């Protein structure tokens, strides 16, 4: 799945859900690639979607629900700042 596919599969549906419920908006995102391996190939290490929420509790609940519905990859986390603190929670429950 390339960067455009990830945007279409995740960011666009999240934007639609956020707009529908008036809870926020997707404001950007990006992809972190690994250093090239011995064959000159790089690999996706991390993808992020930046979202501004208007209501943190309802917005985080919506994001978690939608990411599960969209079959976000295992290991997906919600990383966010609230009241000057950084938080990170797995979408699919507690990670081992």
Q: What is the pLDDT along the chain (96 residues), one digit of tens a residue?
A: 566 777 889 999 999 999 999 999 999 888 888 899 999 998 878 788 999 999 999 999 999 999 999 999 888 999 999 889 999 999 998 654
The predicted pLDDT at position 3 comes to 66
List of long-range contacts for 40-44, beta carbons under 8 Å, 24+ apart: none
Which two three-digit tokens encode residue 12?
């666009």
20 within 8 A of 77, measured Cβ to Cβ: no
Domain spans of the chain?
3-90
- Return the structure tokens found at 44: 């996706």
| pLDDT score at 94 | 61
If DSSP codes are grouped into helix, strand and coil, which group holds residue 61? helix
């Amino acid at each position: 799945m390339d960067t455009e596919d990830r945007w279409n599969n995740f960011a666009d549906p999240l934007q639609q859900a956020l707009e529908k419920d008036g809870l926020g908006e997707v404001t950007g995102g990006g992809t972190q690639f690994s250093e090239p391996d011995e064959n000159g190939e790089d690999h996706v290490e991390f993808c992020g979607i930046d979202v501004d929420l208007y209501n943190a509790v309802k917005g985080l609940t919506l994001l978690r629900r939608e990411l599960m519905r969209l079959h976000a990859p295992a290991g997906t986390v919600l990383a966010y700042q609230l009241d000057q603190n950084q938080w990170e929670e797995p979408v699919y429950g507690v990670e081992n």
